[in-house]
Copies of this chain bind each other. A is one copy, B any other.
Amino acid sequence: MTMQEGEAIDKNSVIPIYYQLAKLIREQIRRGEFKPGEALPTEIEIANRYEISRMTVRRSIAELVSEGMVYALQGKGTFVASPKLDNVVFELNNFNREMAQRGLNFKTTLLQAKILRADDELKERFRLGEGTHRILHFRTVTAAEDERLSLENKYIIYTKSKPLLESELNDPTLPGLIASHSDYLPVSAKKVLKAVVATNEEAALLGIAAGSPLFLVETTVFDPDLKPVGWSKSIYRGDRYKITSYDGWYQKE
């Protein structure tokens, strides 16, 4: 009764029991021992089988639920999910940081940094009233192996006079600029990703042909009151960037 085939929960291990159990069930599902639509053993059965408490079993199952591998129905049981494979999540860990890690000679160059008077478009974006508003504008280009890859334009509401930091010259981040050059606290962001083609100006700045494919990412950063306090418009060469994602029961670790 204690020794069933192949199961391996080591209660004295430094690895938490809930973690071992989650891994064990996950592997059983991957091996097809529990098939999509089928019920897992009940929490109490699992607890008895491995001689652990029901709360620990529940913690393991909670992990699997959050991974989308099983779902629980009160009063009925816990069932193996069928992977949907259509709810795709593209994770964009900062286009540039990713390149920097892999690429050689990746560098960011500051093309321009100046204070503008907000024109109508910027007043609209930042929901500013009439009058004069100062906007800090940064334009940077990134390159790897002397090939230009992306062009970024960042705008923030400028309220705090403060010298530019060395780090901001290298790679100014929008939340970082807001924190150091304005009185606002950046706490949330909205991004819109589009596919576009290069204008003549963009093509010239990136050293590619006009009409080349580009990713366009527009970011708006908000403070806790949902006031827009930063905005950026960045383009990335379509022939150099791609976004990859995984869905379903992919192997982790």
Instruction: Report if A188 contacts B (CB, 8 A).
Output: yes
For residue A31, which residues in chain B have a CB less than 8 angstroms away from its CB?
Answer: 224
Contact residues, A99-136 vs B (CB, 8 A):
none
Number of this chain's copies in the assembly equals 2
Instruction: Report if A205 contacts B (CB, 8 A).
Output: no
For residue A243, which residues in chain B have a CB less than 8 angstroms away from its CB?
Answer: 90, 192-194
B175 and A195 contact, CB distance less than 8 A? no
Question: Which segment, of A10-18, A43-51, A80-88, A145-153, faces chain B?
Answer: A80-88
* Residue tally, chain A, CB below 8 Å to B: 56
Docked Cα-Cα span, A246 to B187, in Å, equals 11
Question: Which of A85, A88, A90 has the most C-beta atoms of chain B within 10 angstroms of its own C-beta?
Answer: A85
For residue A30, which residues in chain B have a CB less than 8 angstroms away from its CB?
Answer: 187, 224
Instruction: Report if A53 contacts B (CB, 8 A).
Output: no
Could you tell me the distance in whole angstroms from the C-beta of A134 to the nearest C-beta in chain B?
23
Contact residues, A222-253 vs B (CB, 8 A):
222, 224, 226, 236, 238, 241-251
